[in-house]
Amino acid sequence: MNADFHLSFTPIQLLLSVLLLVIAVASLRLFRNRLLYRLFFVAIVLTGILFVAVPELPYYIANRLGVGRGVDLLFYLLFTGFLMLIAILYRRLLQHDVILTQIIRQNAIKNHRASQGTPKE
């Protein structure tokens, strides 16, 4: 690996870095009260910026892991992350279903229309 890379940004590198930073800030606001999510997101964004700034880095890591191309490594990571995301969101969705059901059920019971006389009466 070339040791003397210097941090002069090409326009695309600059653009990507700025975008990632914006996402980082937005996600910090988004995941309020979720430290784990925040740390995870920040770590991803920082890695992203690092990869943008030093394009040789993913290539180097990929080689060490035996993947071949840096792009392939990124693809595998993205794909895994994508599946994880779906699982997490789906779980969350199920939790919301449970809450929604409880609210609707409680309302239905509270607001029931009474029977006109009961069998015993």
Partner 1 sequence: MTEQVYIVIPSYNEGKVIRQTINSLGNQYHIVLVDDASTDETANAVRDLRVYYLRHEINLGQGAALQTGMDFARQQGADVVVHFDADGQHNPADIDRFIETLRTQKLDVVLGSRFLRREDLVAIPRLRRLLLRVARVINGLLTGLWLSDAHNGFRVMNRRALNAIQLKENRMAHASEILMQIRRLGLNYMEMPTHIIYTDYSQVKGQRWQGAVDILIDVFINKYFR
Residues 43-102 that bind partner 1 (CB under 8 A): 91, 94, 97-98, 100-101
Please give the distance of CA 8 from its chain centroid, rounded to a whole number: 30
Nearest distance from C-beta of residue 85 to partner 1, angstroms: 16
- Determine the Cα–Cα distance for residues 3 and 19; give it in Å rounded to an integer: 27
Helix (H, G, I), strand (E, B) or coil at 55: coil
Helix (H, G, I), strand (E, B) or coil at 76: helix
Query: Which range, of 6-14, 16-24, 61-69, 111-119, touches partner 1 by CB under 8 A?
Result: 111-119
* 108 touches partner 1 (CB under 8 A): yes
Q: Which is nearer to partner 1, 12 or 114 (CB)?
A: 114
Q: Which is nearer to partner 1, 71 or 87 (CB)?
A: 87
- Determine the Cα–Cα distance for residues 43 and 64; give it in Å rounded to an integer: 21
* 111 touches partner 1 (CB under 8 A): yes
Q: Which is nearer to partner 1, 46 or 103 (CB)?
A: 103
Nearest-CA neighbor of 1 among 65, 52, 42, 59? 59
Segment holding 46, helix H or strand E: helix 35-53
Q: Which residues bind partner 1 (CB under 8 A)?
A: 91, 94, 97-98, 100-101, 104-105, 107-109, 111-120
